[in-house]
Structure 1
Amino acid sequence: MDKIIINFLSPMLLFIFIALTYSCGNDNSAKDLYTKTLSDTDSAALLFMLEEEKLARDTYAYLDNLWSLNQFSNIKLSEQSHMNAVENLLKVNNIPYTILPSGEFADEGLQAYYNQFAIDGAIDEVNALLVGATIEDLDIVDLQEYIDATSNTALIAVFESLQCGSRNHLRSFISAIENLGGSYTPQFLTQQAYDAILNSSKEQCN
Structure 2
Amino acid sequence: MSRSSFIGILLLACIFAAAAGCTGQQGTTPAVTSPVPVATPAPSASDAAFNALPKAELNATETADILLLQEEAKFAYDLNSALYGMHTTLPLLLNISNAAKTSMKVDDVILVRYNIPDPESQKAGVFTNQGLQQMYTNDLNTGLSSASDALKMSAQFTDMNIADLSAAIGRTDNQDLIYIYNQQLALARNDMRSLSQSLAGFGVVYTPQYITPASYAQIIASPMETIPVK
- Report the TM-score, using the length of structure 1 for normalisation: 0.81
CA distance in 1, matches of 2:135, 2:180: 24
The answer for the alignment partner of 1:67 in structure 2 is 87
- 1:53-102 CA-partner distances (Å, limit 9, x unpaired): 11111000000100011111111010011111111110111111232111
Structure 2 residue aligned with 1:90, among 97, 111, 126? 111
| Paired residues of 2:56 and 2:174 also in contact (CA < 8 A) | no
Unaligned runs of 5+ residues in structure 1 are 1-30
Instruction: Report the alpha carbon displacement of residue 181 of structure 1 after superposing the two structures with TM.
Output: 1.6
CA distance in 2, matches of 1:197, 1:184: 13
Structure 2 residue aligned with 1:80, among 83, 95, 101? 101
Larger radius of gyration: 1
Q: Report percent identity of matched pairs.
A: 29
User: Secondary structure of the residue that 1:139 maps to in structure 2?
Assistant: helix
CA distance in 1, matches of 2:185, 2:159: 10
CA distance in 2, matches of 1:107, 1:55: 11
The one-letter code of the counterpart of 2:118 is Y
Indicate the RMSD between aligned Cα atoms, in angstroms.
1.3
| Paired residues of 1:36 and 1:93 also in contact (CA < 8 A) | no
The answer for the alignment partner of 2:196 in structure 1 is 174
Structure 2 residue aligned with 1:57, among 67, 73, 77? 77
CA distance in 1, matches of 2:71, 2:193: 22
| Paired residues of 1:161 and 1:205 also in contact (CA < 8 A) | yes
User: Secondary structure of the residue that 1:126 maps to in structure 2?
Assistant: helix
Instruction: Report the alpha carbon displacement of residue 155 of structure 1 after superposing the two structures with TM.
Output: 0.3
CA distance in 2, matches of 1:168, 1:98: 26
CA distance in 1, matches of 2:216, 2:133: 25
CA distance in 1, matches of 2:140, 2:157: 12
CA distance in 1, matches of 2:145, 2:180: 34
Counterpart check, 1:112 vs 2:134: yes
| Paired residues of 1:120 and 1:128 also in contact (CA < 8 A) | yes
| Paired residues of 2:84 and 2:94 also in contact (CA < 8 A) | yes
Counterpart check, 1:38 vs 2:58: yes
Instruction: Give runs of aligned pairs for residues 119-198 of structure 1, distance below 5 A.
Output: 119-198=141-220
The one-letter code of the counterpart of 1:125 is A
Higher relative contact order (CA 8 A, sep 6+): 2
Higher helix proportion: 1
CA distance in 1, matches of 2:130, 2:116: 21
User: Secondary structure of the residue that 2:210 maps to in structure 1?
Assistant: coil
Unaligned runs of 5+ residues in structure 2 are 1-52
